[in-house]
Amino acid sequence: MEVQNILSDLIKIPSVNPPGGELEVAKYLKALFDAAGIQNEIIESSPGRGNFIAYLGEGERRLLYLSHTDVVPATEDWDFEPFSGEIKDGLVHGRGALDCKGLVAAEAYAMLYLARNSKLEGRLTFAATADEEVGGTYGVKYLIENFGEKILADFAINEGGGEPVRLNGELAYFIQIGEKGSAWARLLAKGRACHGSVPTLGDNAVAKMAKAVTHLAEYKGEIRLIPEMKALFGAIFGLKGQDLELTEGNIDPLIRRFEDRSFVEYLRATTRMTISPNIIQGGVKTNIVPDRCQAEIDIRVLPGQDEGYVIDKLSKIVGEDIEIDIPNYSAPSFSDSESPYYKLIENTLKEAVGDVACLPCISSGATDSRFLRRRNMPSYGLSLMAKDFDPSLIGTMHGKNERIDIESLRTNSKFLIELARSYLGGSR
Ligand SMILES: [Zn+2]
């Protein structure tokens, strides 16, 4: 079975989270792996929330292929049916093609290929897990807490980087070595209800919150240059042969020099705390002045910006009248870019696509890698795309018309196969 057909089948299973329903994906993978004689199991963290794990080879060295099987909803107007999985014009179409069923398919294809063609001298574990898009509680977090020995390995390869970027005329690939943390905040404005015909008798909670949310949306975080980003900037500008002293003061003018808008915004987001007010709810009826309004805020933090820091910033912005709660905080996490695992990934990447620049990067978002890193397991993000990958496709991730080119799926499969062979050894 070709990798694009596996992906097409996976997309047809609408494992939208919430509610998830990843068990159906796990069952599909089980049938595929059973037929190939690969040892595997489904671990249900809660009814319908299936995690699929498979194992190849035996030995001291251990490598984990990690991916997730849930997808975000397809809410906008798509130009094609989001769960068709249609293969057309060299592309596989549908929700999850890039995030992250393309990686599930490439890792599954690599497992099937290695089972047929190699005898590994170490252990390769494949984990396609649930619930990444809503925090990992029923996926990697659950597995680590309850079945750690099944997935812990010397290092993991997961989603996160891998698309080629053209920097000053040269092709470069990003390998994700870390990610920002997240602090999801809930704000509550309280007021006093009254009849909407005499609004001045009440205290309008929606109006209060609207003001607070406007201020939050205008927030400009102070620049913080962490060593990982400093190294990345050094490498980026090094490509150009420039010798620059990077400081918090000159980084923004330098960032603005890049033409690629999404790259500019990525660099901005990884050099400061960001605040995005994304949900607001208040009011019950047109003729009642609302006494409550709630807002949910997505905040992404850098090292040193803990819950106390976030609450302090928020209260300065929204004022004392609004209650602040942070029900969900997750610290930034990092893996070593000097480790032999990183070097191996870099070398294997170059074997797969040719001699390109490889840059360790940090992600503005979060992946399940953070749970592994908390257990001191190095985890690297790389969904390797082909050299002529169309960068505009990145915007379809969590957006509309998500799709991936078959060439990238093949490139990634090849990379994954070689990575396992190089690290785990074994005959061909
Ligand atoms: Zn993902």
Residues in a beta bridge with 277 = 297
Lowest mean pLDDT among 131-135, 271-275, 376-380: 131-135
Query: Residue 296 is encoded by which pair of tokens?
Result: 């949910």
Query: Residue 182 is encoded by which pair of tokens?
Result: 């997240």
Domain segments of the chain as ranges: 3-168+333-427, 181-221+273-331, 223-272
| Residue carrying structure tokens 């820091």 | 309
Amino acid at 20: G
Indicate the length of the chain as a whole number.
Answer: 428
- The conformational region for residue 335 under phi > 0 = left, psi -120 to 50 = alpha, else beta, is beta
Helix (H, G, I), strand (E, B) or coil at 281: strand
One fold for 3-168+333-427 and 181-221+273-331: no
| C-alpha to C-alpha distance for 208 and 230, rounded to whole angstroms | 40
- Report CA(392)–ligand 1 centroid distance (Å): 18
Query: Residue 45 is encoded by which pair of tokens?
Result: 């963290």
Res 427: pLDDT: 63
Q: Which of 99, 107, 132, 405 is catalytic?
A: 132
CATH of domain 181-221+273-331: 3.30.70.360
pTM of the model as a whole:
0.91
- Alpha carbon 420 to chain centroid, angstroms: 22
- Alpha carbon 365 to chain centroid, angstroms: 6
Which residues hold their Cβ within 5 A of ligand 1, which is an ion? 99-100, 159
- Residue range 81-128, pLDDT digits in tens: 999 999 999 999 999 999 999 999 999 999 999 999 999 999 999 999
Average pLDDT over residues 282-295: 98
Res 147: pLDDT: 97
Lowest mean pLDDT among 63-77, 161-175, 285-299, 347-361: 161-175
Q: What is the mean pLDDT of the chain?
A: 95
| C-alpha to C-alpha distance for 152 and 154, rounded to whole angstroms | 7
Q: Yes or no: say if 216 and 237 are a contact pair by the CB < 8 Å rule.
A: no
| CA neighbor of 379 nearest in space, from 108, 57, 161, 136 | 161
Res 260: pLDDT: 80
Pair type for strands 91-93 and 403-405: antiparallel
- Report CA(134)–ligand 1 centroid distance (Å): 10
User: Which DSSP string do the residues of 130-170 spell out, in sequence order?
Assistant: S-GGGTSTTTHHHHHHHHHHHH--SEEEESS---EEEETTE
Res 237: pLDDT: 79
Amino acid at 162: G
- Report CA(68)–ligand 1 centroid distance (Å): 7
* Residue 70 annotated as catalytic: yes
Average pLDDT over residues 178-192: 97
* Residue 132 annotated as catalytic: yes
pLDDT band at 158 (very low <50, low <70, confident <90, very high): very high
Of the candidate CATH numbers 2.60.120.560, 3.40.630.10, 1.10.3720.10, 2.60.120.10, the domain formed by 3-168+333-427 belongs to 3.40.630.10
- Report CA(147)–ligand 1 centroid distance (Å): 22
- Residue range 18-64, pLDDT digits in tens: 999 999 999 999 999 999 999 999 999 999 999 999 999 999 999 99
Res 38: pLDDT: 98
